[in-house]
Each structure stands twice: as C-alpha cells, then as structure tokens.
Structure 1
Amino acid sequence: MAEILRPIGAIARALDGISNIEFKELELSRGQYLYLVRIAEQPGIILERLAAILKVDKTTAARAIQKLERNGIVERRPSPTDKKQKQIFMTAKGQALYPIIHRENTYSNQVALQGFTPAERDQLADYLNRVETNIAADWTAVKHGHHRNY
C-alpha cells in the first residue's frame, strides 16, 4: 500500500510553519490564520461549526477565537435566531488582514501545483477531498469517545 499520510503531514507542517512565520508580523499567532480564513468564507459561523471544519475540539477553537477577539480581529455577536449562540464575524482589522492571507494561500497553491496539468490539479483535489471525507468519519467517532478497530 502506498504511504500517503507522511507526505500529506510533511506538506501541512511545512506550509503551516511558513504561514506562522510570515503572519507573525500581522499579529497572528500559530494557526490563527486558519480561523480567519474560515470566518471570512462563512461570516456569522458559530464556534461548533468552525471547530468541525478545522478538525479541532471546541475548547481549542474557543481559545483561538478569544485571542483573535482580544486582538480586535474578530467579534462575536448574538445570533438573531438563537440567543444562546454567538456568531463570529471579522472586524475591519480582520478584513484588512484577509487579502494578505488569501494571497499567501493562492501563492502556496501555485507553488505546490507546479508542473501539474489542469486535469491533474482537479484530479488531485478530488482525491484529497475523498481522503478528507474518509478520515472525517473516524475523527468524529473518536472525538465522541469511540475507538477505531485496527
């Protein structure tokens, strides 16, 4: 069987490391850019949904959002339909940071896909989305206290 998880992990760690270094001057600490991107893509997202998308536990997501909120990058507002829920939005400061993060993401994608034909790029994206879908079920199960059978 082909080993795919090691290269995927190495790619993820390399790009995360680059982003964390480059975004430090934007006052974004480790991994906070990931939250900002998802909030930009889905203004008004709730914490539980954000945590699920990023595959982190709710406590980790809450801490990250609190830091972003303290730095004036995001704000939480009561949901108009459910007063117990808080929706998360970018502030003007967050909106100013997003284009920089988006440019970095576009650049990283271009570098990663050098030498691939458009058809190969689409095929790779499809394969990786399928891998993510396959893993998501295990992630959810383990997060809810279940054990995988090896």
Structure 2
Amino acid sequence: MESVGKWISTIHRYAHIFFNQEADELGIGGGQFSFLFLLYRQDGVSQDHLAKKLYIDKATTARAIQKLEECGFVRREKSEIDRRQNLVYLTDKAHGVKEQVMETLANWTNILTKDFSEEEYEIVLRLLKKMAGNATEHISKGEGCKREG
C-alpha cells in the first residue's frame, strides 16, 4: 500500500516554503499565518486556546505569539478573570494586513485544489478531517509507536 504520510509530508513541506515566502515581506515566519487567521476569527483569546485550536504545543505557541508581538501584530494582556492567562489581541497593524493574510491562505487552498471539482473538494476535505481526527485520537490516548518484543 502506498504511503499517505509521504504525500501529506510533501504538501506540508511545500506549504512551509510557500508561507515563509509570503510572510517574509511582513517580517514574520510562515507559521504565524495560522495564528493571525484564528485571531481574525476570534480576537482576545488565550494562548492556551490558540494552542489547542492549532494542535500546537504551548511553548511553540508562546514563541509564535512573542514574535508577532515583537513585530507589532499582537499585544498580550493579562486576563481579568484569570490573571494566570495572557489574552492575545490583534493590533491596528495586524488589521491592516488582514486582506493580505486571508488572500495568502485562500491562494494556497486554490493551489492545492486546482482543477478539483466541487465533489472532489468536498471528498478530500472530509477525508483529511477524518485523518486529522484519527491522528488526534491516537496521540491523545498516549499511543506513540508500539514496539514489538
């Protein structure tokens, strides 16, 4: 059976290249696009919320938010409800590049789904979501590599 992971890995590597090229002119890394995208949808959320939504560990999330803060795209404020939490808010600078960020994300989707019919698009989206769910379930159960012997 041909490896599904090989193709997912290939897409991931090319996505990394694409987003890094696009983000370069903003002075951020390609990985920060997903954080901006989530914040455009829901501003003023905790770093923990962002980490969970993106399935990224807390340390990586903290570094990404720190980079965005240093570049002037977000600000962090202590939550008034839970002083242990930092809430992340978009700045005017981030709102100024929203269209560019959203267009970049849409362009990548269009590149990946070029010449797909509507039906093919829906099928691949459903299957990818199912695969992501399978991976999440497996890892959340603490099932790493099972060794024989």
Normalised by the length of structure 2, the TM-score is 0.88
What amino acid maps onto 2:146 in structure 1? N
Give a deviation string over 1:79-122, Cα, whole Å, max 9, x none: 24323222111111111122111101111211211221111111
- Unaligned 5+ runs, structure 2: none
- Unaligned 5+ runs, structure 1: none
For residues 14 and 58 of structure 2, the distance between their equivalents in structure 1, rounded to whole angstroms, comes to: 25
- Percent of aligned pairs with the same amino acid: 27
What is the number of residues matched between the two proteins?
A: 147
What amino acid maps onto 1:58 in structure 2? K
State the superposition RMSD in angstroms: 1.8
* Aligned-residue offset at 1:62: 0.6
For residues 17 and 83 of structure 2, the distance between their equivalents in structure 1, rounded to whole angstroms, comes to: 38
2:18 aligned residue: 18
For residues 24 and 59 of structure 2, the distance between their equivalents in structure 1, rounded to whole angstroms, comes to: 23
For residues 51 and 83 of structure 2, the distance between their equivalents in structure 1, rounded to whole angstroms, comes to: 20
For residues 133 and 67 of structure 2, the distance between their equivalents in structure 1, rounded to whole angstroms, comes to: 30
Kindly report which structure 2 residues correspond to 1:94-105, keeping only aligned pairs within 5 A, or say none.
94-105=94-105
Q: Are 1:46 and 2:46 counterparts?
A: yes
Q: Specify the SS of the correspondent of 2:68.
A: helix
1:63 aligned residue: 63
1:149 aligned residue: 146
Q: CA 1:139 to 1:95, structure 2 compared with 1: closer, same or farther past 3 Å?
A: farther
For residues 86 and 71 of structure 2, the distance between their equivalents in structure 1, rounded to whole angstroms, comes to: 18
